[in-house]
């Protein structure tokens, strides 16, 4: 074989791969950006049929959401959503103060769920109390979605609050994209991440605290 054939062979490999990639991308579309619609206060949510198993954390039992409670809670924060959760800032991001109020609703089972988009090892080391592990790889494997569907199917319209480490971390956005693809539309992202939450002395779960 002549060495001059090597560049031609390399081009042939790249060409074949590009062709296969093109066909594959038509079959399996990928999404990189989230539809930023803001979030709404869930109303009239139903109790799920089965919530007995499968959670990676002991999640609070969901119940009918109380929109007034959420709005009242957010009104007290005085920033961001500004007292009306159904008219959030458009990109669906909430501050630490707003998340704190929503967390009170989450742990009392009022139609709000906290989802941890960080790596499994980080989640195991410590998380927001009651948060479910929901890294994007956990969703795309099907496991995470099954778990979430069991607690809060999309048709219930409950509010999902997603967080990651904080700052510019992309994990929350990635998880939100996959959840939107799965039919969840009521999503808020806690701009302040877990680090800020824990530093503020707010309730945590895992080795350092409760569920």
Partner 1 sequence: MAHASVPSRGPGWIESILALLPARLVLAGVFGLAAYFKLSDPQSFAFAIKAFEIFDPTEQAHAVKLLAFAVPWTEAIIAVLLVLGLWSRAAAALLTLLLVGFTGGLLSLIWRKIETECACFGSLEFGCTGPVGLCHIARNMGLILLGLLVTWRGGGRLALDRRGDADPSGVDSEDDDA
Q: Give kind and range of the element (H or E) at residue 204.
A: strand 204-205
Q: What is the largest CA-CA distance in the chain?
A: 77
How far is C-alpha 197 from the chain's CA centre?
A: 16
Minimum distance between the CB of residue 27 and partner 1, rounded to whole angstroms? 10
Residue 32 near partner 1 by CB under 8 A:
yes
Paired tokens of 21: 């990639």
**x/- binding map, residues 137-166, to partner 1, per CB under 8 A?**
x--xx-------------------------
Residues in contact with 42: Cβ distance below 8 Å, sequence separation at least 6, in sequence order:
65, 67, 111, 112, 156, 157, 158, 159, 186
Give the nearer residue to partner 1 in terms of CB position, either 46 or 141.
Answer: 141
Minimum distance between the CB of residue 29 and partner 1, rounded to whole angstroms? 8
SS (H, E, C) 143-169: HHHHHHHHHCCHHHCCEEEEECCCCCC
Site stretch for partner 1 (CB under 8 A), options 5-13, 62-70, 81-89, 200-208: 5-13
Site stretch for partner 1 (CB under 8 A), options 21-29, 63-71, 86-94, 103-111: 21-29
**x/- binding map, residues 164-193, to partner 1, per CB under 8 A?**
------x---x---x---------------
Three-class DSSP category at 128? strand
Contact 120, 68 (CB under 8 A): no
Neighbours of 39 (CB within 10 A): 25
Interactions with partner 1, residue window 95-124 (CB under 8 A) = 119, 121
Paired tokens of 133: 């592990």
Minimum distance between the CB of residue 48 and partner 1, rounded to whole angstroms? 26
Alpha carbon distance 197, 195 (integer Å)? 5
Size of the site for partner 1 (CB under 8 A): 33
Give the nearer residue to partner 1 in terms of CB position, either 51 or 180.
Answer: 180
Give the nearer residue to partner 1 in terms of CB position, either 93 or 103.
Answer: 93
**Site for partner 1, rule CB under 8 A:** 1-7, 9-10, 13-14, 16-18, 20-22, 24-25, 28, 30-33, 119, 121, 136-137, 140-141, 170, 174, 178
């Amino acid at each position: 074989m002549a060495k001059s054939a090597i560049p031609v062979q390399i081009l042939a490999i790249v060409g074949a791969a590009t062709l296969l990639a093109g066909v594959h991308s038509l079959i399996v579309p990928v999404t990189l950006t989230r539809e930023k619609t803001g979030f709404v206060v869930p109303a009239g949510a139903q109790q799920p049929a089965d919530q007995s198993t499968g959670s990676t954390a002991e999640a609070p039992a969901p119940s009918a959401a109380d929109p007034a409670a959420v709005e009242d809670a957010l009104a007290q924060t005085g920033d961001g959503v500004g007292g009306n959760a159904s008219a959030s800032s458009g990109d669906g991001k909430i501050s630490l103060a707003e998340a704190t109020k929503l967390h009170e609703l989450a742990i009392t089972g009022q139609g709000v769920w906290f989802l941890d988009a960080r790596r499994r090892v980080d989640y195991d080391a410590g998380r927001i109390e009651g948060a479910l592990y929901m890294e994007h790889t956990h969703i795309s494997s099907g496991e995470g979605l099954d778990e979430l569907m069991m607690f809060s199917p999309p048709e219930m319209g409950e509010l999902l609050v997603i967080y990651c480490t904080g700052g510019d971390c992309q994990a929350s956005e990635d998880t939100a994209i996959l959840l939107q693809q799965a039919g969840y539309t009521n999503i808020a992202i806690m701009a302040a991440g877990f680090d800020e939450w824990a530093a503020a002395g707010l309730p945590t779960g895992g080795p350092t605290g409760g569920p």
